[in-house]
A and B are shown apart, each in its own frame.
Chain A
Amino acid sequence: MVRTSRWSSVPAHWLLVAVPAAVLLAFFVLPNALLLSASFLKSEAQQLTAEPTLDNYRFLLTRPLYLQVFLRTFVVGISVGLIDVALGYPLAYFLVRTRGRWKGGLIALSLAPLLASVVVRTYGWYIILNRFGVANDMLLGLGLLDERIAFMPSTGAIIVGLAHALLPYTVLTIMSSLNGINPNLESAAMSLGATRTRTFVNVVLPLSLPGTAGGFILVFSIAISAYATPAILGGPATQVAATAIYGFILQILDWSLGAALAVILIASSLALLYAASRLGARQAVLR
């Protein structure tokens, strides 16, 4: 190759990456390192001290209040992931297989919500679910309710709101994995006498499992660190990790506890993601 002989005589790649790498080191690695170190330091009178301690972790991992926060965070993450796979799979399958005139438009329509901020999309659910909201109005009007009830703040409302906000991500990942399946495999199965439904269950579904798992993992990891939706549809009684971190940092001004909570959130989600990817990898090998 001409390129390698001439271009590598100077370490051009280091010149090219110097500035972007410096930006990432200074404003991504350094802040996260500071955060990690703060989680091992003692806070006194809303100031970080230089005294190393494990008390922050001990505190968070022994108080029932914060154990509940972790539990709720992961329940939300898993429920949102499952709902979005259940809703996203049929939609993705339809979008990949339909030959209708509106295919392009329908794909665009299913991804368009990504263009709106999560705040805006969650606000729609606030309008629907609050005590004087659309859902209450309708149910009262239909005579299904005698008096107004509060659908929110609640964990259920957080799950619905996040499932709605993150649905396009599962649609995208499942569509790209369905697109990657060789259509001849299906023709072959059917020419051997399998019905369309059986072909789907025995051929398409297993082949699209890794992509589906990928969609679940993506949505799960976004959901457990989401702030806006739990802040809008939840309340003080339904805190999740992100809202608790916000409270520690900007309201209680306890940096060490906020930092420790952030580290626990990252560590547990990375561990789960790693486990999930190992599981996915094994499935990929088995088939």
Chain B
Amino acid sequence: MMARLFSARWRANSGPWALLRAVVALVYVFSLGPILITAAVSFNPTNRSFFPPRGFSLRWWERAFSPEWIDPLLFSLKLGTLTALMSTLLALPLAFALFRYRFRGRDALVALTLGPLMLPSLVTGVGLLQLFQYVGWREYLGFGALLVGHVVICLPFAVRTVAISLHTLPPNVELAAASLGATRWRTLRYVVFPLIKSGIIAGAVFAFIHSFTDVNLSIFLARPGEVPITVKILGFLEFGFAPTLAAVSVITLLLPLILVVVVERVSGLGDFIYGDHRA
């Protein structure tokens, strides 16, 4: 009440608050401008990056939907989906053990779990490439190696979100279920799982997005024909500006956005965004 009164008065005198609003508006322009410019120049009828676009054409968008670009896009979607699935399946027992048990070696296990967040994924990528060559798994470079690498770097995200949802679980519900005679499995299946379901889904979504947007690891593990969309774009940039690339960029930006909006509507993500990044 008091705080509202004060802040209302402060805002009314419009000095610092108006200044802050102006700064914030500039930060938004800086943050969103390049993305909007990318979208705008993709509609240019010519091969130049005029902004604002001179004329309107969908020819570059048609090209963006050719197999040359759709194939790596589908490859990334497949990779991201499998990564999300596998890292969530691995994260569930891991988060449960780390959160529900106190045992010797737990701290080491926590460090191991969060390790891929601490070390640059570029370094993990180089190491995995070396490992695959060293043990003679060269033929698995491409999809197999990428899947392994992505699962490793996405696992910490999934573990964290599941751990957060376990943390917010009321401690008594399991005891209540147990005291009413439910077995351990029934308690997990009918009490714990439904309560942490949105956390599991949020973890899978974060894992998917992290996989779908990764470059640092993927550049080392891709091979011709098995290339994620980000690496494909990066490789194409050598040839300079291409309006097709602007259109492809917008498509790869929209896919995770649609996913997040849908999941947010269905099960909610907001609560996990802070938690996910809080150390």
A190-241 with Cβ < 8 A to chain B = 190-191, 196-197, 214, 221, 225-228, 231-232
Instruction: Choose one: B7, B28, B35, B119; the contact of A121 (CB below 8 Å).
Output: B35
Contact between B252 and A32, CB atoms less than 8 A apart: no
Complex interface: chain A residues within 8 A of B148 (CB): 27
A270 to chain B, nearest CB (A): 8
User: Is B34 within 8 A of A28, CB to CB?
Assistant: no
**Given A133-B49, A249-B220, are A28 and B123 neighbors across the interface (CB < 8 Å)?**
no
A35 to B127, CA, bound (A): 5
Cross-chain contact B174 with A123 (CB below 8 angstroms): no
On chain A, the number of residues with a Cβ less than 8 Å from chain B's Cβ atoms is 96
CA distance in complex: A160, B152 (Å): 30
Closest to A123 in B: B249
Known contacts A21-B109, A29-B112, A117-B212, A172 near B277 by CB under 8 Å: yes
C-alpha gap A99/B17 in the complex (Å):
13
Measured between beta carbons, the chain B residues less than 8 angstroms from A33 are: 127
Question: Do A20 and B124 have beta carbons less than 8 Å apart?
Answer: no
Q: Mark A177-194, 1 if CB is under 8 A from B, else 0.
A: 001000100110011000
Residue of A whose beta carbon sits closest to that of B51:
A134
**A134 to B98 alpha-carbon distance, docked (Å):** 51
Note all chain A residues with C-beta closer than 8 A to B152.
23-24, 27-28
CA distance A33 to B130 in the complex (A): 11
Is B175 engaged at the interface, CB distance under 8 Å to the other chain? yes
Choose one: B38, B124, B274; the contact of A31 (CB below 8 Å).
B124
Q: How far is the CB of A118 from chain B (nearest CB, A)?
A: 6
Residues 230-272 of chain B, each 1 if its beta carbon lies under 8 Å from chain A, else 0:
1001100100110001100100110011001000000000000
Q: Given known contacts A127-B246, A227-B122, A227-B219, is B31 in contact with A214 (CB within 8 Å)?
A: no
Residues of the B chain whose Cβ atoms lie less than 8 Å from the Cβ of A117? 212-215, 229-230, 233, 252-253
Q: Is A126 an interface residue (CB 8 A)?
A: yes
Bitwise interface map of B from 2 to 28 toward A, beta carbon under 8 Å scored 1, else 0: 111011001000001000110110011
A7 surroundings in chain B (CB, below 8 A) = 101, 184
Q: Contact: B241 with A17, CB < 8 Å? A: no
Cβ-based interface call for A45 (8 A)? no
Say whether B185 faces chain A, with CB atoms less than 8 Å apart: no
Q: Which of B34, B115, B121, B130 has the most CB of A within 10 A?
A: B34
Q: Contacting B241 at CB < 8 Å: which of A14, A115, A130?
A: A130
Nearest-CB residue, chain A, relative to B112: A24
Tell me the smallest distance from the CB of B168 to a CB of chain A, in Å.
16
A286 beta carbon closer than 8 Å to chain B: no
Q: In the complex, which of the residues A17, A97, A118, A214 contacts B7, with contact meaning CB atoms closer than 8 Å?
A: A97
Any chain A CB within 8 A of the CB of B207?
no
CB of B21 within 8 A of CB of A110, answer no
How many Å lie between the Cα of A238 and that of B24 in the bound state? Answer: 32
Q: How far is the CB of B255 from chain A (nearest CB, A)?
A: 9
B21 touches A94 (CB 8 A): yes
B116 at the interface (CB under 8 A from A): yes
User: 19 A-B pairs, CB-CB below 8 angstroms?
Assistant: A13-B97, A13-B103, A16-B97, A20-B93, A20-B94, A21-B112, A27-B131, A88-B27, A112-B257, A115-B213, A123-B245, A124-B34, A125-B34, A137-B49, A167-B31, A172-B273, A186-B6, A227-B122, A249-B126
Known: A99-B4, A191-B2, A225-B216. 20 other contacts (CB 8 A): A12-B101, A16-B97, A17-B109, A20-B113, A27-B148, A31-B124, A31-B128, A31-B131, A90-B23, A113-B35, A119-B215, A119-B249, A124-B249, A133-B241, A134-B41, A137-B51, A164-B30, A172-B277, A176-B274, A262-B123
Question: Which residues of A does B touch, CB under 8 Å?
Answer: 1-3, 6-8, 11-14, 16-17, 19-21, 23-25, 27-35, 38, 87-88, 90-91, 93-94, 97, 99, 109-121, 123-128, 130, 132-134, 137-138, 164, 167, 169, 172-173, 175-176, 179, 183, 186-187, 190-191, 196-197, 214, 221, 225-228, 231-232, 242, 245-246, 249-250, 255, 258-259, 262, 265-266, 269
